[in-house]
A and B are shown apart, each in its own frame.
Chain A
């Protein structure tokens, strides 16, 4: 399973990737914003996207909308990991059809739970 980690902060990308590796997930691609993520999606067969919201060039929300509007990628699970915790933000994320949502800072355990929940829901 190939994961795409999208965050403009190299520190956060590293933290998420470290956490994924500790879960045994080794096949990981990273992108620094939404635009870069679209390029990576075109270049790789991505199975799961973990994205930040606030990013230059293209936000995580716009990336989600683009993915959901794409025939090719619309079914890829998306997990939003962000500092934005207002109810309005959550609703926007839901409207964009994000599969789940984590507020930073998070523990690897929470990340794992959300990934597993999304994967299990997708299997049903």
Chain B
């Protein structure tokens, strides 16, 4: 019985030893596993945040592209309306020119009548009193016909109007620059999203997860389209009520925004600027687009204070 117990004890001891050997081999693996899980956790959080962040940008992209389409459509319609107007005015000009062309015989008639009268006078067929009466009639008639066929004021008006229309087209065409900036902004954002996701995926197998997590993508406001387009992400906003904004900027120039300038001066820590501005209440809110008249007012204030 005792022999059996000792044998059993030895067998159990052997099993226990094997277990310790296994434990010794497994511990480094478990340590690696714990380290891996510890490293992967921030990565997973980063992926989660990145997806959330990128998804939150998508509606904004859609909105921006929608604004581009809207702006392009508005500008195109505006240009087409102006062109319709130009065609109408050209039709009027053409019809006036045609009238002039048809009435060219007015001059011919005048010359014919005048020369006939002169010939009759030369050959003494008419007396001087009658001659004067006749010549007055011929001139009066010519003057009346001439005034009928030419309305130069209409020509002048039409030309001036077409000039104004061309200016309006020029204004509408600026939408090309504004919308290209907006598209560049969208393109840039898509590139950024793509780059970040690519980086995340490429780093997924890397041991150096921690370094990746803290990496942030640098934002440069230049996007590569058919050419490099530098952009203002809110460019298309300038199309809405631009004239009002310009007026506000002009007003700002006149009134001065010294308080904001002073504040900005402190924030930017730029020396030798802004001290000449008086302290006044700023009529403009921070980070809000302002109009041309406000800008003018600001520059005017700056000039006066120099």
Contact = CB atoms under 8 A, between A and B. Distances in A.
B246 A83 contact: no
Contact of A83 (B178, B270, B299): B178
B190 interface: no
Nearest to A12: B177
A91 B260 contact: yes
Contacts of B249: 85, 90, 101, 103
B238 A8 contact: no
Interface string B221-240: 11000011111101101110
B79 interface: no
Given A15-B174, A18-B170, A88 B287 contact: yes
Given A91-B261, A104-B177, A55 B230 contact: yes
Interface of B is mostly: helix
B64 interface: no
B175 interface: yes
B176 interface: yes
A108 B170 CA distance: 8
Nearest to A85: B289
B186 interface: no
A68 B289 CA distance: 26
Contacts of B298: 90-91, 94
Given A8-B227, A54-B221, A83-B178, 13 more contacts: A8-B229, A54-B232, A83-B177, A84-B232, A86-B289, A87-B286, A88-B287, A90-B290, A91-B260, A94-B261, A102-B292, A106-B242, A106-B246
B152 interface: no
14 contacts: A8-B228, A54-B230, A56-B228, A83-B234, A85-B245, A85-B289, A85-B291, A86-B289, A90-B249, A90-B295, A101-B249, A101-B299, A106-B242, A108-B170
Contacts of B54: none
A110 interface: yes
Interface residues of A, number: 40
Interface of B: 167, 170-178, 180-181, 221-222, 227-232, 234-235, 237-239, 242, 245-246, 249, 252, 257, 260-261, 264, 268, 270, 273-274, 284-292, 294-296, 298-299, 302-303
A123 interface: no
Contact of A54 (B231, B284, B295): B231
Contacts of A94: 261, 298-299, 302
A103 B222 contact: no
Given A83-B238, A102-B292, A104-B178, A8 B302 contact: no
Nearest to A13: B177
A40 to B, nearest CB: 18
Contacts of A121: 303
B288 A11 contact: no
B180 to A, nearest CB: 7
Contact of A9 (B170, B180, B261): B180
A33 B260 CA distance: 30
Contacts of B270: 95
B12 to A, nearest CB: 78
Nearest to A96: B273
Contacts of A53: 232
Contacts of A101: 249, 292, 295-296, 299
Nearest to A100: B299
A66 interface: no
A105 B174 contact: yes
Contacts of A11: 173-174, 176-177
A87 B288 CA distance: 6
A107 B167 contact: yes
A15 B302 CA distance: 29
